[in-house]
Amino acid sequence: MTNKPLAALLFGCMITAQAASAQSLLPKPQSFNAGKGAFSTATTKVKLINEVGADAENIYSKQWSAKADNNAQQVVRFTRLANATSPEAYNLHITKDTLLISAASADGFRFAWQTVEQLKQKNGIMACDVQDAPAFKWRSLMLDVSRHFQPISFLKKQIDVMAQYKFNRLHLHLTDAAGWRIEIKRYPRLTSLAAWREGKTWKEWSKLGCKYKNEGEEGAYGGYYTQDELRDLVKYAAERGITIVPEIEMPGHSAEVLTAYPELSCTHEPYKQMDFCPGSVATYDFLENVLKEVMDIFPSKYIHVGGDEADKASWPSCPLCQQKMKELGTDKDGLQAHLIAHFGKFLTDHGRQLVGWDEVIAGNLAKNTTVMVWRGLEKAQEAIDHGYDVVLSPSGYWYLDYYQDAPDTQPEAIGGFLPLEKVYSYVPGGTLPEDVRSKITGVQANLWTEYVPTAEHVEYMLYPRALAIAEIGWNGTKTKNYPEFRKRAIVECERLHKQGVNTFDLKKERGERPESFKTTKHKAIGCNITFNHRYEDKYKAQGDKTLVDGQHGGWTYGDQKWQGFLGNKGYCLDLTIDLGKVQKISTVAADFMQAYGAWVFFPSEYKISFSEDGQNFKEVYNKKSEVDRDIQLGFRNLAWKGNAKTRYIRVQGSTTEDGGWLFTDEIIVK
Ligand code: ACM
Ligand code: ZN
Same domain, 63 and 164: no
Q: Is residue 371 part of a domain?
A: no
**CA–CA dist 613, 616 (Å, integer):** 7
Number of other residues whose CB lies within 10 A of the CB of residue 260 = 20
Q: Is residue 380 part of a domain?
A: no
CATH of the domain at 551: 2.60.120.260
Same domain, 308 and 243: yes
* Domain span holding position 459: 138-349+399-429+443-482
pLDDT in tens, 557-578: 989 999 999 987 789 999 999 9
Contact 105, 166 (CB under 8 A): no
How many A from CA of 373 to the centre of ligand 2? Answer: 27
The partner residues of 611 in beta bridges, in order of sequence, read 648
Q: Which atom of ligand 1 is closest in space to residue 393's alpha carbon?
A: 4
CATH of the domain at 254: 3.20.20.80
**CA–CA dist 444, 2 (Å, integer):** 54
Q: 107, 132, 157: which is the final residue of a domain?
A: 132
Same domain, 569 and 462: no
Strands (E), 554-617: 563-566, 573-595, 605-611
Same domain, 297 and 276: yes
Give the residue numbers annotated as catalytic, written as ranges: 309
Residue 402 Cβ < 6 Å to ligand 1: no
Same domain, 464 and 605: no
What's the pLDDT score for residue 629?
86
Residue in 330, 62, 293 with CA at minimum distance from that of residue 186: 293
Mean pLDDT of 202-221: 97
Residue 357 Cβ < 6 Å to ligand 1: yes
Mean pLDDT of 180-201: 98
Residue 42 confidence class, pLDDT cut points 50, 70, 90: confident
pLDDT reading at 57 higher than 90: no
Higher model confidence: residue 21 or residue 340? 340
pLDDT in tens, 400-413: 999 999 999 999 99
pLDDT reading at 8 higher than 50: no
Q: Which atom of ligand 1 is closest in space to residue 395's alpha carbon?
A: 2
How many A from CA of 502 to the centre of ligand 1? Answer: 26
pLDDT reading at 138 higher than 70: yes
pLDDT reading at 617 higher than 70: yes
How many A from CA of 455 to the centre of ligand 1? Answer: 21
Q: 79, 99, 132: which is the final residue of a domain?
A: 132
pLDDT reading at 592 higher than 70: yes
Q: Which ligand is nearest to the Cα of residue 393, counting in written order?
A: 1
Same domain, 156 and 90: no
pLDDT in tens, 634-666: 999 999 999 999 999 999 999 999 899 999 999
Residue 301 confidence class, pLDDT cut points 50, 70, 90: very high
pLDDT reading at 23 higher than 80: no
What's the pLDDT score for residue 360?
97
State which amino acid sits at residue 544. D
pLDDT in tens, 516-571: 999 999 999 999 999 999 999 999 999 999 999 999 999 999 899 999 999 877 89
Helices (H), 200-302: 202-207, 227-238, 255-260, 281-297
Residue 90 Cβ < 6 Å to ligand 1: no
pLDDT in tens, 234-272: 999 999 999 999 999 999 999 999 999 999 999 999 999
Same domain, 144 and 261: yes
pLDDT reading at 16 higher than 60: no
Residue in 237, 358, 225 with CA at minimum distance from that of residue 293: 225
Same domain, 462 and 518: no
Residue 1 confidence class, pLDDT cut points 50, 70, 90: very low
The residue whose CA has the least distance to atom 2 of ligand 1 is 374
How many A from CA of 374 to the centre of ligand 1? Answer: 7
The residue whose CA has the least distance to atom 3 of ligand 1 is 308
Same domain, 161 and 117: no
Contacts of 479 (CB under 8 A, 6+ apart): 28
Higher model confidence: residue 83 or residue 630? 83
How many structural domains is the chain composed of?
3
User: Mean pLDDT in the chain?
Assistant: 94
CATH of the domain at 95: 3.30.379.10
Helices (H), 350-400: 377-385, 395-398
pLDDT reading at 38 higher than 70: yes
Exposed, middle or buried: residue 71 (CB in 10 Å: 0-12, 13-18, 19+)? exposed
Q: Which atom of ligand 1 is closest in space to residue 374's alpha carbon?
A: 4
Same domain, 558 and 648: yes
How many A from CA of 175 to the centre of ligand 2? Answer: 21
The residue whose CA has the least distance to atom 1 of ligand 1 is 308
pLDDT reading at 14 higher than 50: no
Same domain, 211 and 302: yes
Q: Which ligand is nearest to the Cα of residue 267, counting in written order?
A: 2
Q: Is residue 193 part of a domain?
A: yes
Residue 375 Cβ < 6 Å to ligand 1: no
Residue 619 confidence class, pLDDT cut points 50, 70, 90: very high
Residue in 288, 301, 271 with CA at minimum distance from that of residue 339: 288
Q: Which atom of ligand 1 is closest in space to residue 446's alpha carbon?
A: 2
Q: Is residue 434 part of a domain?
A: no
The reported pTM is: 0.91
Burial 401-417 (b: 16+ CB within 10 A, else e): bbbbbbbeebebbbbbb
Exposed, middle or buried: residue 149 (CB in 10 Å: 0-12, 13-18, 19+)? buried
What's the pLDDT score for residue 61?
83
How many A from CA of 395 to the centre of ligand 1? Answer: 8
Same domain, 528 and 659: yes
Residue 374 Cβ < 6 Å to ligand 1: yes
**519 vs 157, 514, 522, CA distance in Å?**
46, 11, 10
